[in-house]
A and B are shown apart, each in its own frame.
Chain A
Amino acid sequence: MTTASGRAEPSRTSKPAEPGALRLIWQHRVDYAYVLPSIVVMMIVIAYPIYYTIDLSFFKTPPSLQLRDKIFVGMENYGAILQSDVFWRVTWNTVVWTVASTVIAFALGFGAALALHRDFIGRGVLRAILIIPWVISAVAASYIWKWIYHSDFGVIGAVLVELGITSRPPNFIDNVNTVLPALIVVNIWREFPFAMIMLMAGLQTVPDQLLRAAKVDGANAWQRFWHVTFPHLRNVSTVTILLLAVANFNSFIIPWIMTGGGPSNASHIWITHIYELAFGRQRWGVASAYSVLLFLILMTLGYFYVRALGGNESKDRGT
């Protein structure tokens, strides 16, 4: 009964023509100036390489990378990849590496964030210590752990012997069965702090009122966590897991420095394998085809990434 909208001046309904897209772009031409430098840089270093990689994946290339001499081979590179045994081995490694690293790093980060949520003396110091592995270079981390895992003088082996668990120090790195888990431990060491930071910030946004209301309603600590805190962290968790998964999928440094993919490909993952194909064996075409496949997988992940972020990117300011 209150909506008299429009009734006061009902006669005038003519509106100006909808502005065309070109006119809109022209109207906002000054706005683009702010973004232009970024766009130019991106075009050079992102769009061009992606185009180039796709193009190269259809060619057989000489090791010298003299591109005049490349030969068009159609889908042959892709066929070669899918038929090779190494491909499936490396793919399995990649799945294990990515899933295990992501899940465990997230779980440890979540636990640490919860444990650090309550204020206590020394909390800031502990938090800083826990974050440091994430700040230092992966190269340094690789060497530190390589020394810790050392087959003769490694500290872990020495501790195991000292405790009487084994008689001789085990060789983690040069063992086909243990190398991947050993590297995953290093990777998690570097990555759980990231999950911790994200979730700590997320925890701060859980409204106290809701927790108090749940307490009044008779929920115990676990029920409060499960029904209030955890649902509230769903957004942050999704973004964190996706970022971790992408980072793990794209890992290179730790396996490359610690094992170079060995022994007998047991620690090769996609990225190290592509790198070796390209720069080790100069098989540029095959490496490009691999990259394109990788690209497709990442686009799928990216779709979810954007969708997860899209939830946060909804508010629109316009002037």
Chain B
Amino acid sequence: MAHVVLKDLVKTYGSFHAVNHVSLTVNDGEFVALVGPSGCGKTTTLNLVAGLIPVTSGDIMIGDRIVNDLDPKDRDIAMVFQNYALYPQKSVYKNLAFPLQMRKLTKEEIDRKVRDAARVLDMTHLLERKPRELSGGQQQRVALGRALVRDPAVFLMDEPLSNLDAKLRVQMRSEIKRFHQDLNATIIYVTHDQLEAVTMADRMAVMNGGFLQQYDAPAEVFANPVNMFVASFVGSPAMSLVPLEASGSGDTAALTSAEGWTLPLSAENARKVARATSRKIVLGARHSTIRLHKSAEPGAIPAKVYTVEPTGDITFVQAFLSGSIVNISVPASVHVSPDEMIWLEFDQARIHLFDGETEMALKAA
């Protein structure tokens, strides 16, 4: 196993910048998820690490080597593809054996390693099958097996679960996590599904527009998103964002809506607002931090129910607040109906404030 360092990595296609000055370090044995919407540069980054496309500028280090100019075969990596990329003309056994043959191992060694990997992944009975005779989950497992036999320094995974159905995805998610723990493997995992990143990764790198937005442990990214993009991308349902206007100054600052109401801020939040570049402030709050009242309360602000989605133990309410939609979760025992007026109370310690101009999170000091 080895660590991976990306130093100021850039990839351009003509004038299009697919990857923009990305720097990050993946520690030995760490599971890092690259996550972002499609076109954010996450797969390009992975392909750069794999050596499938040449780097425009910057450095990639695997272990202590700079691998920029090395062929994929010489980088000591293994990769699992979204469509599994199993060799269709080869049996499962031969698929697993191929990377070992390429490394000129003896027949006996190959056989031993293939059978070991098959045993670990519980697919000894599938060895003589062709890939097309396998189910999606089995193919996925063979793809993992082919990565595993090699005992590489780094595992690269490109959306390995996105072709599976929902139930299988949850099951494979825990299997991959298990795989990581047992092998203590260094894994770089690309996904567009923030839930996969949050549940599996030690650290997640959120990307957008080719830029690395935030790189931290999932809990930290969840709790302290650095900007509005990360705030709205991580977490489900997404964090609600409401553009408002700052009013007052010093410790008595408040947020004012065009609808006429005013939300007073705590002293700490007021200090954050004071640091904004303009008076435009975006209020962010996760569904679980907002309290819903059916009648007016001091400090609560009025909103109008848009839709109600019962999910069993909790009910999600979407409401109009100052022209934006806000998600609130309430116990199933609370009943509201569309177009009803409700009052929302925000937890001052857990709201997020963003600069309306730069979209960056506002910090107290």
Contacts and interface: CB of A to CB of B under 8 A. Distances in A.
Report if A and B touch in the complex (beta carbons < 8 A): yes
A280 interface: no
Contacts of A4: 208, 213, 227-230, 359-360
Nearest to A10: B358
Contacts of A9: 20-21, 211-212
A29 interface: no
A18 B56 CA distance: 11
B209 interface: yes
Candidate in B17, B228, B282 with the most chain A CB atoms within 10 angstroms: B228
A5 B232 contact: no
B15 interface: yes
Contact of A319 (B52, B227, B360): B52
A220 to B, nearest CB: 38
A1 B232 contact: yes
A68 interface: no
Interface string B190-214: 0000000000000000001111111
Nearest to A5: B209
Of A2, A16, A318, most buried by chain B (CB within 10 Å of CB) is A2
A243 B213 CA distance: 52
Interface residues of A toward B: which range?
Answer: 10 to 19
A15 interface: yes
B209 A15 contact: no
Nearest to A318: B13
Given A8-B213, A9-B20, A9-B21, A2 B232 contact: yes
Contact of B227 (A7, A12, A16): A7
Given A7-B360, A8-B212, A2 B21 contact: no
Interface residues of B, number: 32
A18 B57 CA distance: 12
Contacts of A2: 228-229, 232-233
Interface in B203-250: 208-214, 226-230, 232-233, 241, 243
B12 interface: yes
Q: Shortest 9 CB-CB distances between A and B: which pairs?
A: A5-B209, A4-B229, A4-B359, A4-B227, A8-B213, A8-B211, A2-B232, A12-B21, A5-B208
Given A6-B211, A8-B213, A16 B20 contact: no
Nearest to B358: A7
Contact of A8 (B57, B227, B243, B282): B227
A16 B12 contact: yes
B176 interface: no
B285 interface: no
Contacts of A7: 211, 227, 229, 358-360
A96 to B, nearest CB: 49
23 contacts: A2-B228, A2-B232, A3-B229, A4-B213, A4-B228, A4-B229, A4-B230, A5-B209, A5-B210, A5-B211, A7-B211, A7-B227, A7-B229, A7-B358, A7-B359, A8-B211, A8-B213, A9-B20, A15-B12, A15-B17, A16-B12, A18-B15, A319-B53
Nearest to B52: A319
B33 interface: no
Nearest to B56: A16
Contacts of A12: 20-21
Given A7-B359, A8-B227, A9-B21, A1 B209 contact: no
A286 B182 CA distance: 82
Given A15-B12, A16-B12, A18-B15, A6 B20 contact: yes
Contacts of A6: 20, 209, 211
Interface string A167-195: 00000000000000000000000000000
Contacts of B226: 8
Nearest to B324: A1
Interface string B249-291: 0000000000000000000000000000000001000000000
A258 to B, nearest CB: 48
A319 B52 CA distance: 7
